[in-house]
Amino acid sequence: MSSEVPTDLLEIVDALLPGVPLDRARLADDGNIHHVVLLPGIAAVRISRRPSAAAALPRRTELLRAIGAAGLPFAVPEPLTSVTAFDGRAAVAVSWIDGTGRPEGEGDPEQIGELLRALREVPLTAGLRRALAAAQEPAPVRGWAAVLAEDVIPRLPPRWRDEGRRRLDNAMALDPVPDALVHGDLAGSNVHWSPDGKLIGVLDWDLALPFDPAIDAACMAWHGWDTVRRAVDAETYRRAKVWDQTFGIGHLIAVLPGKPLSNTDSYIDHIVPWLEHHTH
């Protein structure tokens, strides 16, 4: 989805990329953190919505540089400009990545398996770990399990508390595995494919962190769990299902960095319907 670009955002784009034609500029629907102005074939410009996003944009841009240098066999957005301040906002232009997301429920297991293997095999060098940690600043004081156990489960409706603890216990019982580079949002429009189904690139690395690579396998259930089953080994599939069955992979990812939730009530309002739909 995209729409017309407000004048104030066009002015920022023009200042950041002087001389670039703006007649085809469109505004992408990119959630609550950034506006993203699309310049097809040229660049995507990220513009912070709030002061917290403006403060984080330099760190997240450095993370893109680190990931871009990791030798992945597909394109990632690479910074084309420095991060620039505009009256309380921050903006940066990143490289354009062709292709589009695949519709929900469609996907090639072989291509998906190759994508997941490429992420899992990225060396987590000291530099990449520093970039991942900096992008998640401030550093958490508790882990993800403590956030769920202490902040979320006790505030669930009483009928869901035991079930919530059971699901968390199942996730915590998973054997530890070596950390890998986890994207954290491998779904829909964040993964771009060519018209003939070849992987072109992966966008939006804001949630990236070192963690169990089965998290990304669970994210790829966007293409269907049967597709994931055929794309990964049996143990990764089993772990992906356990992670997803905690509170839904999209909800779980929000707590993986271990930081307090910005709105716990809203989080609970989202996971309770998920539990109602996925509990038999």
Query: Which pairs with CB-CB distance under 8 Å and at least 24 residues apart come from 107-111?
Result: 107/220, 107/222, 107/223, 107/224, 107/227, 108/197, 108/227, 109/227, 109/228, 109/230, 109/231, 110/231, 111/193, 111/197, 111/198, 111/199
Task: For residues 236 and 184, give the distance between their C-alpha atoms in angstroms, rounded to a whole number.
Answer: 15
Q: Which residues contact 232 (CB under 8 A, 6 or more apart)?
A: 113, 116, 214, 217, 240
Task: For residues 185 and 46, give the distance between their C-alpha atoms in angstroms, rounded to a whole number.
Answer: 18
pLDDT in tens, the chain (280 residues): 457 899 999 999 999 999 999 999 999 876 678 899 999 999 999 999 989 899 999 999 999 999 999 999 999 999 999 999 998 899 999 999 999 999 999 999 999 999 999 999 999 999 999 999 999 887 777 899 999 999 999 999 999 999 999 999 999 999 999 999 999 999 888 999 999 889 999 999 999 999 999 999 999 999 999 999 999 999 999 999 999 999 999 999 999 999 889 899 999 999 999 999 988 7
pTM (2 decimals)? 0.94
- Which CATH number is 2-95 given? 3.30.200.20
Find, among 227, 146, 218, 229, the residue nearest to 184 by Cα: 218
What are the tokens at 3?
């729409």
51-68 vs 126-135: helix crossing angle, rounded to 10: 160
pLDDT for the residue numbered 30: 60
Task: Name beta bridge partners: 3.
Answer: 27
The phi, psi pair for 38, rounded to 5°, reads -95, 130
- The superfamily CATH assigns to domain 109-278 is Aminoglycoside phosphotransferase (APH), C-terminal lobe (3.90.1200.10)
- Are β-strands 34-39 and 26-28 bridged in parallel, bridged antiparallel, or unpaired? antiparallel
Write out the H or E segment, with its range, that includes residue 18: none
Task: For residues 87 and 241, give the distance between their C-alpha atoms in angstroms, rounded to a whole number.
Answer: 45
> Domain residues of the chain, as ranges?
2-95, 109-278
Alpha carbon dihedral 59, 63, 69, 73, in 10-degree steps, equals -150
Environment class of residue 231 by beta-carbon count within 10 Å: exposed (0-12), middle (13-18) or buried (19+)?
Answer: buried
Q: How far apart are the first and last CA of the chain?
A: 35
Judge contact between 44 and 37, C-beta under 8 A: yes
Distance of CA 157 to the CA centre of its chain: 29
- Are β-strands 43-48 and 34-39 bridged in parallel, bridged antiparallel, or unpaired? antiparallel
